[in-house]
Structure 1
Amino acid sequence: MTEFNFNSFGFNFLIDFPKTVNPQSVDIAIATKSLLETFEFLRKNGLYEDRIMRKLKPFVEKKLYQKDCGAIGNQIVITPDGLIGPCQGFLYNKEYY
Structure 2
Amino acid sequence: MRHPPDPTSKAAIEDSALFFVDTARATVSQEGEAMAYSYCCKDYPGMEACPAAFTAETEAELWKHIELHGATAHQEEPDKWSSEDRQQIKNLIHEM
In the superposition, the TM-score normalised over structure 2's length comes to 0.25
- Structure 1 or 2, whichever has the larger Rg, is 2
Question: Which structure has more RCO (C-alpha within 8 Å, separation ≥ 6)?
Answer: 2
